[in-house]
Structure 1
Amino acid sequence: MSSLLQTIDVNKKFGGLSAVTSLNMDVGAGDIIGLIGPNGAGKTTSFNLITGVYTPTSGKVIFNGQDITGMKPHAITHLGVARTFQNIRLFKEMSVLENVLVAQHMRMGANIFEATLRLPSYLKKEKHVHERAYALLEEVDLVEHAHAKATSLSYGKQRRLEIARALATEPKLLFLDEPAAGMNPQESVELMDFILKIRDQFNLTIVLIEHHMQLVMGVCKRMYVLDYGVTIAHGTPEEIQKDPKVIEAYLGVE
């Protein structure tokens, strides 16, 4: 399987603190990869380095054969990388539908002249964008809430809306930062099925940070484990469960 994403000796320092040290990930097209570790291990920082929120101190990030190291987040999104956040970041004053619509503007291909004059070419694109937004809401079981305010949704449904908004950018690679955070056990089980469904339906590659071990072990083909910014293990869920370094990082030693 060909690599869609590679991080090559990626390092990030904040002053004298090494937040991430020699991150080497290899993510194949169609993979679902887990990035796990104790709190403060550098997981979200790693996401931020790949998606352009932070610029690596050294090392390279290669996506789909292109060096994207240090590119701006919007440029990386345009290439086909999308993400959700540990703390849900919806447009709170917008409706559910509007949250999905706003994410599609980068793919709409309209210019100011077309939009200002409401030319037929613009109206056709606008119609297509609305149809696709409704279709995405249908896929995440939110279409009945299309005109409700985003903040009126339950926590689990807000998570689904955030994923739908990410899907609206037409990604090849989707980063999910603790998608099960705040969910009850039943919602977490449903989320596991949902992640597998969207991977297949949208031909996605997915990398996720998750503390919910049942979920991450259930959906991930391979896993990377970070501790204090250092990769301490890499392998299948079965290998990770038995790794002494992972057990020590999570449980400590006597």
Structure 2
Amino acid sequence: MLETNNITMQFGGLTAVSDFSITVADGEIVGLIGPNGAGKTTAFNVITGVYTPTRGTILFNGKNIAGKQPHRITGTGIARTFQNIRLFHEMTVLENLLVACNLREKPNLFESVLHLPGYIAREKKAREFSLNLLESVGLLNNANDNAVSLPYGKQRRLEIVRALATEPSLLLLDEPAAGMNPQESQELMEFIVGIRDKFKISVLLIEHHMQVVMGICNWLYVLDYGITIAKGAPAEIRKNQKVIDAYLGVD
């Protein structure tokens, strides 16, 4: 589904990511780990169009999307969340999802202004779709709550569900377990696996919480100073000396 080939991202004389190559297959949950400043979020930003790579290709379902605008990339079927939650705080939970639904609609200004039948039908369809999504993830009772009023764990879940509202085939999660306690992290693991199975999508995630990474990922890539130092199954990565040194430091 996703294949990056020798992606390099430079900012002036600084190389944030160097020759970054990964693959994500249908139905996989793939983890991207490494110490702070390793280039993980930069890699996400390149894949999702925030940055245009200095060199390299990004193939999504066989088409090169490197350098495309973020909304164009989302339109191809890639959605993401952010390290810091970025909900629309002045909107309700339901309204956050309705905004995301607009990606798949073809709005007509004339119909919208006059509230013609075509506009009303699209709004009804989007509302029903959003309510069904909220019900499927246990947030239906919060549909009319202000998004910022939700507990932290539910805000994280809402951001993921809003990404799902764009109907992606690949979901990128940037540190979804950040700030969560062990119980919340366990629930998040079950949630991610559940949406992978229910919506038939693939997941690429950045995470420092090793319980989450080792518990749900099929394959791991490890970055350190922008360079891939290891890749393999979680059991292999757990014993890899380079990975241990990168996280713990060496004398």
TM-score (norm 1): 0.97
- Report the AA paired with residue 129 of structure 1: A
CA deviation string 1:147-173 (max 9, x = no partner):
111000011000000001000000010
Match of 2:122 among 115, 122, 125: 125
Deviation at 1:80, TM superposition (A): 0.4
Deviation at 1:252, TM superposition (A): 1.5
Secondary structure at 2:83 match in 1 = coil
Are residue 223 (structure 1) and residue 225 (structure 2) matched? no
Gaps of 5+ in 2: none
- Aligned equivalent of 1:45: 42
Deviation at 1:125, TM superposition (A): 1.4
Match of 2:211 among 195, 198, 214: 214
Equivalent positions of 1:198-213 (< 5 A) are 198-213=195-210
Aligned partners of 1:114, 1:198: CA distance in 2, in Å?
Answer: 35
Equivalent positions of 1:49-198 (< 5 A) are 49-198=46-195
Match of 2:231 among 225, 230, 234: 234
Secondary structure at 1:191 match in 2 = helix
- Give the number of equivalent residue pairs: 251
Aligned partners of 1:249, 1:110: CA distance in 2, in Å?
Answer: 49
Aligned partners of 1:190, 1:209: CA distance in 2, in Å?
Answer: 17
Aligned partners of 2:115, 2:147: CA distance in 1, in Å?
Answer: 28
TM-score (norm 2): 0.98
Aligned partners of 2:112, 2:61: CA distance in 1, in Å?
Answer: 33
CA deviation string 1:98-156 (max 9, x = no partner):
01110101112231122122222221111110001111111221111111110000110
Runs of 4+ in 1 over 3 A off after TM superposition: none
Gaps of 5+ in 1: none
Aligned partners of 2:67, 2:58: CA distance in 1, in Å?
Answer: 8
Aligned partners of 2:38, 2:137: CA distance in 1, in Å?
Answer: 31
Aligned partners of 1:183, 1:140: CA distance in 2, in Å?
Answer: 18
Aligned partners of 1:253, 1:108: CA distance in 2, in Å?
Answer: 53
Secondary structure at 2:178 match in 1 = coil
Secondary structure at 1:198 match in 2 = helix
CA deviation string 1:190-244 (max 9, x = no partner):
0000000000111110000000101110000000000000000000000101111
- Which stretch has the larger CA shift, 110-119 or 90-99? 110-119
CA deviation string 1:13-47 (max 9, x = no partner):
11111100000101111110000000000000000
Root-mean-square deviation over aligned CA pairs: 0.8
Aligned partners of 1:124, 1:130: CA distance in 2, in Å?
Answer: 10
Secondary structure at 2:52 match in 1 = coil
Aligned partners of 2:249, 2:103: CA distance in 1, in Å?
Answer: 47
